[in-house]
Amino acid sequence: MRTKLPHAPAGAPALNFHHLEYFWAVATNGNLTRTAAALRVSQSAVSTQIHQLEEQLGERLFEREGRGLKLTEQGQVVLEHAQRIFEVGGELLARLAAGRSSRELLRVGAVATLSRNFQESFLRPVLTTPGAQLRLMSGSLDVLLEQLREHHLDVVLTNRPVRNEDGRRWRCRRIARQGVSIVGTPERKRGFRFPEDLAHTPLILPGPNNELRTEFDALCARLEVQVEVMAEVDDMATLRLLARDAPALTLLPTVVVRDELRTGALAELAVVPGLYESFYAVTVERQLPHPLVRTLLGREEAEMLEMPRRRGARS
């Protein structure tokens, strides 16, 4: 005998989650044949499950569109609720798995191009919290967000904002902003003029798809300055190495080379006016927010960018 949902109206049949799962699979796939193959069941079995769900709800959920299926207006409403139901289920499993560990596990994703220095500053409280364990994953933003949606990550760090789309409800918060500078060896600092001298020296810049690069190019266009590009680099760790070793000036957030600036290996030749690198933390709505995430996000911006006292930190 199947137990009714606690909040189901009196006399109403309980929602069959098996039907709902088949509906969700077809809705996200858009094709009955492919869904049946993925689920390793017959196409008729999938059709039957969806038909029974439509009968129970008293609504048509799909309509034909060419060789595929398109959600009706009511089908879209059901999909949004199904997404929430399965997300909560995934959160429950993740929390139970974490509860079986004797340590408080925090799972963080960081885009591969994000400054290692910033990651270290942001995550430092976890490393000094008794009983805490950190798992840090690096990758593309799309992959990390999918891991976050499936509750395999607790927070994602990125340097560009994430907007809600396709029914996904990201909570994206800017947690810090760092100025961007032209840096070079100390001897280059003497007599350097910004922006006049930009046209007379090779530059190492972030790659063309980086927002910093887009804004810097726009600034140079407004100032009517033609720059000589020696190299374009997406990865901040590589950008730091080239800033240190290549015979050129480099455009980057100062947090990336804070150790070199502190020791005098590099010098800040000019702060680029109006240009900033922003850092964002992305989470999803959870019934039981992770306490370590609350701790990390509850700090002041200056603390997240704070320079460590020890030497040799990686960028």
Above pLDDT 70, what percent of the chain?
Answer: 86
Lowest mean pLDDT among 68-72, 109-113, 271-275: 68-72
Kindly list the distances between the CA atom of residue 116 and the CA atoms of 2, 123, 306, 315, in Å, as whole numbers in the listed order: 52, 10, 13, 4
| Res. 101 pLDDT band, cuts 50 70 90 | very low
Range 17-95 classified under CATH 1.25.40.10:
no
What fold is seen in the domain 178-277?
Answer: D-Maltodextrin-Binding Protein; domain 2 (3.40.190)
Q: Which helix (H) or strand (E) holds 44?
A: helix 43-57
- Domain extents in the chain: 17-95, 102-175+279-304, 178-277
Does 1 score more than 50 pLDDT? no
Q: Name the most confidently modeled range: 71-85, 100-114, 199-213, 283-297.
A: 199-213
Residues linked to residue 151 through DSSP beta bridges, in sequence order = none
b/e map 54-84, b = 16+ CB within 10 Å: beebeeebbeeeeeebebeeebeebbeebbe
Q: How far apart are CA 195 and CA 172, in angstroms?
A: 34
The gap from C-alpha 128 to its chain's centroid, in whole angstroms, comes to 24
Count of C-beta atoms within a 10 Å radius of residue 293: 18
Task: With beta carbons less than 8 A apart as the criterion, state whether 1 and 10 touch.
Answer: no
Q: Judging by beta carbons within 10 Å of its beta carbon (0-12, 13-18, 19+), is residue 216 exposed, middle or buried?
A: buried
| Res. 113 pLDDT band, cuts 50 70 90 | confident
Q: What is the pLDDT of residue 111?
A: 94
Mean pLDDT for the stretch of residues 85-92 = 69
Residues linked to residue 174 through DSSP beta bridges, in sequence order = 280
Mean pLDDT for the stretch of residues 89-107 = 65
> 149-171 pLDDT, tens per residue?
888 899 999 998 998 765 567 89
Does 281 score more than 90 pLDDT? yes
- Evaluate if pTM is beyond 0.85: no
What fold is seen in the domain 102-175+279-304?
Answer: D-Maltodextrin-Binding Protein; domain 2 (3.40.190)
Task: With beta carbons less than 8 A apart as the criterion, state whether 313 and 305 touch.
Answer: no
φ, ψ (nearest 5 deg) of residue 63 = -140, 150
Lowest mean pLDDT among 65-69, 237-241, 243-247: 65-69
Q: How far apart are CA 22 and CA 39, in angstroms?
A: 9
Q: Please tell me if the domain spanning 17-95 has the same topology as the one spanning 102-175+279-304.
A: no
Say what angle helices 32-39 and 43-57 make with each other, to 10 degrees. 110
Helix (H, G, I), strand (E, B) or coil at 151: coil
Strand boundaries in the chain, DSSP class E: 62-65, 68-71, 104-111, 132-139, 155-158, 170-184, 202-206, 228-233, 249-253, 267-284
What pairing do the DSSP bridges indicate for beta strands 132-139 and 202-206?
A: unpaired
| Res. 297 pLDDT band, cuts 50 70 90 | very high
**Residues listed for the chain:** 315
Kindly list the distances between the CA atom of residue 4 and the CA atoms of 12, 56, 82, in Å, as whole numbers in the listed order: 8, 14, 17
DSSP 159: S
